[in-house]
Amino acid sequence: MNESNAISDETIVDTGLNNYHILSFLLVLLPATAIFGNVLVIVAVYKERTLKTVTNLLIVSLAVSDFLVALCVMSFAIYFELHNLIYCKSFQLNSFVWNLGPIFCNIYLAADVSCSTASILNLFAISLDRYIAISYPIKYAQYGTKRTRAHMFIAFVWGLSIAVGLPILLGVNAVDNTDVWSSIFNFLS
């Protein structure tokens, strides 16, 4: 027998497992980078007195919402994806499995909706502030966005974001094998 063509079991590398480790590393790198970057923004504005402007208050609010998205949403989404990658492949399932229970499912969905909504609304607030500053520079220099107005707008952004996610925590999203429209009408009546 030719020894050069013989391959032992130890030399065979499971490329699926290696790909899984590479994918895991890359997926974990995303929220870790987001968390680190947003913490840097928050700390920089907190520590440096010259950065404590009204616009930067809005940017800190955006950094907080993005930090929460990375911590509460992306990290569990990665767990869910990687768990299902192994679980569904090993049992040859075609559907995904949520193994953290219905209560945590609602908490996860509410956090996802609330934090993502806060991020979008914070981007809107920053855009509106910059639009006014560019379109009406003299009025903005005279009146500008005052600190109390910025705090009120940030409170509105977070209040609306929590209000959007709250129905999920209350179970409004649960539909038990019924028609969606009848569920909506029953909820409204």
pLDDT in tens, 15-65: 555 677 788 888 889 999 999 999 999 999 999 999 988 889 999 999 999
Which tens digit of pLDDT belongs to each residue from 133-178?
899 888 887 776 678 888 999 999 999 999 999 998 887 876 555 4
Specify if 109 maps to a domain. yes
Q: What share of the chain is helix, strand, coil (3-state, %, to 5)?
A: 80, 0, 20
**180 lies in a domain?**
no
**pLDDT of the residue at 123:** 97
Q: What is the CATH number of the domain that holds 107?
A: 1.20.1070.10
Could you tell me the residue range of the domain that residue 28 belongs to? 15-173
Backbone angles phi, psi at 179, to 5 degrees: -65, 135
Q: What is the band of 9 on the pLDDT scale with cuts at 50, 70, 90?
A: very low
Number of structural domains in the chain:
1
Query: By three-state DSSP, how is residue 103 classified?
Result: helix
Contacts of 55 (CB under 8 A, 6+ apart): 126, 129, 130, 133, 145
In a domain, 189, yes or no: no
Positive or negative, the CA dihedral 81, 83, 87, 89 is positive
Q: Are 78 and 33 in contact (CB under 8 A)?
A: no
Helix axes 15-47, 75-90, angle to 10 degrees: 170
Q: Compare 114 and 76 and report the one with higher pLDDT.
A: 114
